[in-house]
Amino acid sequence: MIRSLLSGDMPRSKFLGAILLVILICLAFAPFLFPGVRTVDTAARICIFVVLVASYDLLLGYGGIVSFAHTMFFGIGAYGVALSSTHLGRGFDSLIIGAGIGAILAAALALVIGLFSLRVRAIFFAMITLAVASAVAVLVSQISSVTGGEDGLTFKIPRELGPAFKFGQDLFGGELLGVKLNGKLLTYYLIFGGSLILFLTLLRIVNSPFGRVLQAIRENDFRAEAIGYRVVIYRVTATCLSAAVAALAGSLYAIWLRYVGPDTTLSMEIMIDILLMVVIGGMGTIYGAVIGATLFVLAQNYLQNLMSGLSSMTEGLPILPELFSPDRWLLWLGVLFILSVYFFPTGVVGRLRGQR
């Protein structure tokens, strides 16, 4: 059953399988294992970025397509939910309509970009996507009457997903293992369940005949075309699928934050983060998205705290307290990235699979 659920793509390494299982258990029971606003927020972000990174890996790792427009699709999905909730009300139907329209619009935009751009070589396509993404980010910032401009949009989600909604009063007295049974808990499991379904869908896609052809095109597009495959059609299809999944991930992100703005969904910094996560986890391995997103989001949220502790421990010693100052956390994040590339040139998953 597990093999079928994973589309036959097993971890192929006991150590990797153990790591993935631990991450799955921690995310599945995060509100109970790590109670606290910050830890649950970190777990939700990991779930969302796993899907976002996996959707980008479908393009880069499996299709060999370099794109800088992935945050644009992410933002389209987020703004779709925000606008539908603002204008249609705070019901579940608004969330579904907004997420669906966002995914369709993202796929349609990816289709237009792909048909006009994927016939050129990789670096030129990357520049075209960068230009389009920058133009969309500027447009969203300027049409403040619709998108809220730089301030973004704050919207209301269904009452059942709000912290004021209580359930389980009769069975558990409103608490389970010390955790309040409220709408925030339901929102987390909506994020977790949606992310898990999208991840398994991507796993199915890359292990289908379509995914095998994509890998053949990545290795040698001339040979793939010579044996009869329409390379452009396959690349455009992969771009559309990747864009739709990224938009759905953006919808989940908007539901979790109940806010959407250019800085949270459309910034170039998020695109760079996605690239780093793909490289750390391993390109061409959907499981790499799990490892890369988990390590990177944890580093973003807790590296400053770790450095603050190290700075306190080394107080009184020369240089070290300043070196470990929390203000220099980005420097150490860069150092950790360089070390990960040096010791894991094929990513963490590629290295673990190679040592099985």
Predicted local confidence at residue 232, as pLDDT: 85
The Cα–Cα gap between 90 and 80 comes to: 13
Predicted local confidence at residue 355, as pLDDT: 54
The Cα–Cα gap between 164 and 129 comes to: 42
The Cα–Cα gap between 184 and 166 comes to: 9
CB contact at 8 A, 44 and 193? no
Q: Record the pTM.
A: 0.93
User: 181 CB contacts (<8 Å, ≥6 apart)?
Assistant: 166, 167, 168, 172, 174, 175
pLDDT averaged over every residue in the chain: 87
pLDDT at 113 over 80: yes
Radius of gyration of the chain (CA): 21
At 126, is the pLDDT very low, low, confident or very high (cuts 50, 70, 90)? confident
Predicted local confidence at residue 187, as pLDDT: 93
Predicted local confidence at residue 186, as pLDDT: 92
The Cα–Cα gap between 232 and 13 comes to: 35
CB crowding 229-267: b at 16 or more within 10 Å, else e = bebeebbbbbbbbbbbbbbbbbbbbbbbbbbbbbebbbe
User: Distance between alpha carbon 60 and the CA centroid of its chain, in Å?
Assistant: 14
Parallel, antiparallel, or unpaired for β 179-180 and 175-176?
antiparallel
* Phi, then psi, of 325 in degrees rounded to 5: -60, 135
Instruction: Please report, rounded to a whole number, the percentage of residues in the chain having pLDDT higher than 70.
Output: 96
